[in-house]
A and B are shown apart, each in its own frame.
Chain A
C-alpha cells in the first residue's frame, strides 16, 4: 500500500473516530485546568527545567493509560514501520484526542526521527508566557512529549520527544521532535507464564 493511500486511510479513520466514537467537551475547561496545573508546578518547583521534567513525567503516566483508550477506539493493528507510526500519531492519535492533525516533516534519512508541526494547540490556547518563563526555558506543552513517550512504550517503541519551537514562546512555529530509540522486546508480564 503506498504511503499516501495509507495516510488517506488513517485520515478518514481519525475523522471517523473523532466524529462518531468520542464524547466531546468544550476545550476551555481542559485548557484552563492544564494552565492551572502549570502555574501550580511553577509555584512548587520554582525551576523551569524541573517543571518541564514534571510535565513530561505526568504525560508519561497519562500516555500509558491513554494508549488503551486509543487502541480500543481506533482498532488499529501494529505498525510495520516508524513512518506508519508517525501517520497514525498525527492523523488518528492527535485527531481523536485533541481534534488537531499536526503535519509530519523533517524526516531524517534513516526515517528514525521526524517532527510534528502543530498549527493549533488546545493546551496553549490564548496563553502568553511571561518573559522569565521564556528565558527560563519552560516548554509549556511538555506534557505532550511525555504522553507520546508513555503511549509508544506500551506498544513496544522507545522514543524520545522534545519541543524545538513553540509559538507560546514567541517562535514562528510549534515543532515537536520525535526520535525512535529502539523497538522493545515484548515481555511477558510478571506473574504470568
Chain B
C-alpha cells in the first residue's frame, strides 16, 4: 500500500498554501495539539490491544508502533528539508534530528546529545512532552514500563527520518525516570535497518558510518 508513500512528493508536496513557503511548514494548517495526543494514546492502546500475551507480543507491538513512526519520519523529512542546504555529514544529520525534527514533533530541542564519534549517539530529553502528564499510582518503574511504548513511535520517526537522509540505523529508547527519556542511535553503513525490541524498551539507532 503506497498511497502515503513519502516518495510520492506530489501527494505531500505542499501544505495549506499552494506556494513554496509551505515547504518549511510555516503558514500551513494548524490543529489542536490534543488531536495528536488523543491519536497517540489511542494508537498505543490499539496496538497493545492486539497483543494477547503481554510479554511475547511486546515485540510485535514495538514493531507496529515503530513502523508507524518510520513512515511518518520519512515523510516529515521530505517535507521539512526541501529548502535546506545539503547535510554536510552524519553529525549534521543527527543535529537536524535533535533540533529541527524534535521541534516539529515536541516543540523543543533535545536537551543533550552525546556521541562516541563512532556511529553511536545518545539523545536525551529531560522533559519528554508526551510524558509530561503521565503517571501511575505506583510510580517508579511501573510508570516507566507503562510509558515505554510511547517511545516506540518516535524511535520509528527517527529511524525513518535518518533513512530518508541516507543514513541507515537502529534506534532504541528507554526511560527510567519520567519525564526523562533517552534515545540510542547506532548508525551503520552496510547493514540493513534493523529494529529489535528489548523488554526494557531500549532502542538503539545504529547509523551507517559515512
Chain A residues within CB distance 8 Å of chain B = 18, 22-30, 32-40, 42-44, 54, 58, 61-62, 65-66, 69, 96-99, 120, 122, 125-130, 133
Contact = CB atoms under 8 A, between A and B. Distances in A.
Contact of B32 (A33, A54, A58, A99): A99
B165 interface: no
A185 B209 CA distance: 64
Q: Is the interface of B mostly helix, strand, loop or mixed?
A: helix
Nearest to B30: A24
Contacts, number: 125
Most buried by B among A26, A128, A129: A26
A128 B11 contact: yes
Most buried by B among A36, A44, A122, A127: A36
Interface residues of B, number: 42
Interface in B79-99: 79
Interface string B30-57: 1111111011111101100010000000
A26 B25 contact: yes
Interface in B154-205: none
Contact of B1 (A18, A39, A62, A120): A39
B69 to A, nearest CB: 8
A39 B64 CA distance: 11
The 6 closest A-B pairs by CB, nearest first: A27-B29, A23-B33, A35-B4, A24-B30, A36-B71, A32-B72
Contacts of B107: 25
A47 to B, nearest CB: 13
B114 to A, nearest CB: 26
Contact of A98 (B12, B16, B35, B72): B35
12 contacts: A25-B30, A28-B28, A29-B72, A32-B72, A33-B39, A33-B40, A36-B69, A40-B64, A42-B1, A58-B46, A128-B11, A130-B1
B4 A65 contact: no
Contacts of B68: 33, 36-37, 40
B15 interface: yes
B1 A29 contact: no
Contact of B31 (A39, A99, A133): A99
B38 A25 contact: no
Interface of B: 1-4, 11-16, 25, 28-36, 38-43, 45-46, 50, 64, 67-69, 71-72, 75-76, 79, 104-105, 107, 153
B13 A126 contact: yes
Given A28-B25, A34-B39, A62-B39, A126 B14 contact: yes
A54 B153 CA distance: 20
B76 A32 contact: yes
Contact of A99 (B29, B43, B75): B29
Contacts of B43: 33, 37
B151 to A, nearest CB: 15
A62 B42 contact: yes
A153 to B, nearest CB: 16
A27 B3 contact: no
A33 to B, nearest CB: 6
B72 A126 contact: no
